Structure 1
Amino acid sequence: MAEITGIYTASHTPVMLNFPDRIPAELKDEIFGAYKAMGDDFMSGKPDALIVLSNDHLHNFFLDNFPAYCIGCAESYESPIEHWLHAKRRVFAGDQAFGAYLLQEAYQADFDPSFSMEMVLDHGSLTPLELAGVDPDLPIVPVLINCVQPPMPTMRRSYALGQFLGRAIRAYEGVDRVAILATGGISHDIATPRMGMVNEEFDQTFLTLMEKGDIEGTLRYATDFVHTAGNGCEEIRMWMAAMGAADGAPFRRAYYRAVNDWYTGIGIGRFEV
């Protein structure tokens, strides 16, 4: 039976790596320090494997084939796939057996995810791992959620997916210790006239509801108001999945700052499992 050593949530944006000096040096150091602190806490749990909840930015999928959920079952994952991202090219080790186990268990639990044995990872997965300094040899299992192209899975369905993942991980006998990183959001808009505008009111309300442990309120707020916080805010589906996996464990906000010059409300948190 596996122990979940930590469930972490963190924003991602390629601007962090491509244009780190677009914001004052003190603020950049503060944000990068928050990611490093998350990584230190993460690695202190000594996980044997990492589940990465993220989304695909049209690199694995396109309009001809865009699954709601996809579980990685590859032996390794090349990243970043974007040639323009200012990050070292890496190949992450995969845990093929773990991915295959989650896939089979998902079918038994009445979920119907796609799977991929040739998945690549873009900035959504790489950016927080890079800034957190996570061990590059730690085996990962990516679980991608469609947050880009409507129709998207509902917030409630993504929460239910997280509940399933939590149960399946805890029942897995292939490893002893597993961590979860859910990365995306919070408010931001990409390639629209609102790009660069951050809805701090949405972000603060969303984080406060999570801190209060108000699961139903969080799901309703995310569903009803995500459209006010930009198309990139659809990525909070990963946070909903993390909340499901946490099984009621309290959420602690580690960091938040609205950073307009990075186009994003930067949030980091942890469920105290």
Structure 2
Amino acid sequence: MSITLKCLSHTPLRGLNDPGAEVVAEVDAVLAQARAEVEAFDPELIVIFAPDHYNGLFYDLMPPFVIATAADSVGDYQTPLGSLSVPQDLALDLAKHILNSDIDIALSHRLQVDHGCTQTLEELTGSLTRYPVIPIIINSVAPPFGPYRRVRKLGEAVGTFLATLNKRVLILGTGGLSHEPPVPLLAGAPDEIAEFLIAGRNPTPEFRAARQARTLATGMVFGTPECPLTPLNVDWDLAFIQQMCQGRLAEVDDFDIEAISRAAGRSTHEIRTWVAAFAALAATGPYQARQDYYRPINEWIAGYGVVSAQAQ
């Protein structure tokens, strides 16, 4: 058994909003290095913890956690369409193990995943199908949210399962860090928006284009007085990265959901994917971690970070 971890921000605006040549070059370089490390590791299995952004999961049935035995990309924000290479029997075995660990998780035999899953998968492997991958979606944008201790326990359950496999496993967490794109809330939403949040699967190309245009326009003004959304919070991001790298995972049990939203933005809760990923790694034994990159990038509406860790 050999287990390694990569946690990184994703942003739908990469390649659409230009933060400047220097920033693009920095991110390209750190992603190229991360991809080279993944290729050298040559995983036999990837487990990716990812959020959804009202593309595959809606309020007609919004599970806190869902594991897929089969998954297809919706192809939003320049990400590729197509099926992921999900090992069905192994994913089902993992689902059973999680349930037997007293963690309730939904199961999907036909899950739609969006850029929150596929962007990172493509960036680190070059495609959606190069390696077997089990997607686990953690609700990170659709309140109400369960406590962070539940996310940590989910990760631990996944980690104890991975420890039984004689495989090279790459654990991915993707999302955050400080982050508030223009994602609508159900509470108080106009009827049209509420209907989309409840049952908006498979939108028309025109609807998807308009949705992406709104996000693009927000990225143009994010971080300026013209934008009312919560700005990026460098101090919060760096403190969280340090907490993960130092293995202080039990402290997430005290995370206050509303306080995080106020301090760093409502979509900062995508860090739930990082918490689960690190908890999975920690469940297999001690680890060493490093911060590979961090920079607040307003044009991408993201505190952009990359972190790596390796089981000792």
Q: What displacement does 1:17 show? A: 3.5
SS at match of 2:177: coil
Of 245, 261, 268, which residue of structure 1 is paired with 2:306? 268
Is there any run of 5+ residues in structure 1 with no aligned partner, and where? Answer: none
2:171 corresponds to: 180
User: CA separation in 1, counterparts of 2:46 and 2:39?
Assistant: 11
Is there any run of 5+ residues in structure 2 with no aligned partner, and where? Answer: 184-226
User: CA separation in 1, counterparts of 2:7 and 2:36?
Assistant: 14
Q: Does 1:123 pair with 2:119?
A: no
Q: What displacement does 1:153 show? A: 2.3
**1:84-123 correspondence runs (5 A):** 85-123=77-115
2:124 corresponds to: 132
Q: What displacement does 1:138 show? A: 0.9
Give the structure with higher Rg (CA).
2
1:30 corresponds to: 26
Q: Which amino acid aligns with 2:145?
A: M
User: CA separation in 1, counterparts of 2:86 and 2:103?
Assistant: 22
SS at match of 1:33: helix
2:271 corresponds to: 236
Identity of aligned residues (%): 26
1:206 corresponds to: 240
Q: Which amino acid aligns with 1:8?
A: K
1:58 corresponds to: 54
1:73 corresponds to: 69
User: CA separation in 1, counterparts of 2:40 and 2:256?
Assistant: 31
With over 3 angstroms needed to count, the CA separation of the structure-2 counterparts of 1:243 and 1:150, relative to structure 1, is same
1:215 corresponds to: 249
Q: Which amino acid aligns with 2:267?
A: G
RMSD of Structure 2 on Structure 1 (CA): 2.0
| 1:43 and 1:134 in contact (8 A); partners too | no
User: CA separation in 2, counterparts of 1:107 and 1:5?
Assistant: 22
User: CA separation in 1, counterparts of 2:234 and 2:252?
Assistant: 16
Q: What displacement does 1:139 show? A: 1.4
With over 3 angstroms needed to count, the CA separation of the structure-2 counterparts of 1:218 and 1:36, relative to structure 1, is farther
With over 3 angstroms needed to count, the CA separation of the structure-2 counterparts of 1:264 and 1:222, relative to structure 1, is farther
1:7 corresponds to: 5
TM-score (norm 1): 0.89
| 2:249 and 2:275 in contact (8 A); partners too | no
TM-score (norm 2): 0.79
With over 3 angstroms needed to count, the CA separation of the structure-2 counterparts of 1:11 and 1:222, relative to structure 1, is farther
